[in-house]
Amino acid sequence: KRIVILISGRGSNMEAIVRACAAEGWPAQIAAVISNKPDAAGLNFAAAHGIATAVVDHKAFRQPGMDAQQAREAFDAELQRVIDGFAPDLVVLAGFMRILTPAFTAHYAERMLNIHPSLLPAFTGLHTHARALEMGCKFVGATVHFVTAELDHGAIVAQAVAPVLPGDDEDTLSARVLKLEHRMYPQAVRWFVEGQLRLVDGRVEQLSGAS
Ligand code: GRF
């Protein structure tokens, strides 16, 4: 199976997936790492590991006379063209900070995963940990889900939970959750490439034999 990973920055989840794929001998290869930001730190890690990299800079798609929606559609069309050049079976969003158009999400239906730092369906969108603290949540977490047109929706593949401890702030919480993300996301991607995930009535069923 061929995997293309999309990032926008640090890329620590991408790194965890690259390492697990190699260390655990998945029936898969990371075909490319693509960023919408030319300076995304994760691109260096990917290149250093011999993985093809590409940049599709969303800022280049804002032409005079275009409205925001047209620019978004032009960006997504180019991104799709670049991704499909690597012929992926699976597209993995790992800290990819762009809202995607329905045409793009439909093109990768049932073969695109995302990780979101909350226990969905709670706290879609940004600043999840700050909002959880403000609400007095006792537990937070992260969710791996299939990507659909609606932001941070789509069938849930895996979730991990962390406690909120006295004195926590956004940084301590996100660090605690990120550690869980680095275990959970590679595991979920592995399930996909091993053919263990099935969508039934919009929910994920995991076939037996899952590790
Ligand atoms: C992670 O917290 C992920 O859940 C969220 O963005 C962050 C990306 O971090 N979607 P990294 O780029 O993988 O280090």
Specify the CATH superfamily of domain 2-206: Formyl transferase, N-terminal domain (3.40.50.170)
Q: Is 116 a catalytic residue?
A: yes
What's residue 209's pLDDT? Answer: 58
Point out the ligand 1 atom lying closest to the alpha carbon of residue 13. 13
The pTM assigned to this predicted structure is: 0.96
Point out the ligand 1 atom lying closest to the alpha carbon of residue 93. 10
What's residue 211's pLDDT? Answer: 53
Question: Which residue is catalytic, options 58, 116, 145, 182?
Answer: 116
Q: Per the annotation, does 44 bind a ligand?
A: no
Between the CA of 64 and the centroid of ligand 1 the distance, in Å, is 32
- ipTM over 0.90 threshold: yes
What's residue 63's pLDDT? Answer: 85
**Nearest by Cα to 142 from 201, 80, 188:** 188
Query: Which 8-state DSSP code applies to residue 150?
Result: S
197 vs 20: CA distance, rounded Å: 18
- Distance separating the N- and C-terminal Cα atoms of the chain: 18
Summarize pLDDT for 75-92 with one digit per residue, the tens.
999 999 999 999 999 999
What are the start-end ranges of the H helices in the chain? 12-23, 42-48, 68-84, 102-107, 128-134, 170-193
Top mutation candidate among 115, 120, 127 for ligand 1, by most atoms within 8 Å of CB: 115
Q: Per the annotation, does 97 bind a ligand?
A: yes
Of all protein residues, the one whose alpha carbon is nearest to atom 10 of ligand 1 is: 95
Q: Which residues does ligand 1 sit against, CB inside 6 Å? A: 7, 9-13, 94-95, 115-117, 142, 178, 181
Report residues of the chain scoring pLDDT below 70.
209-211
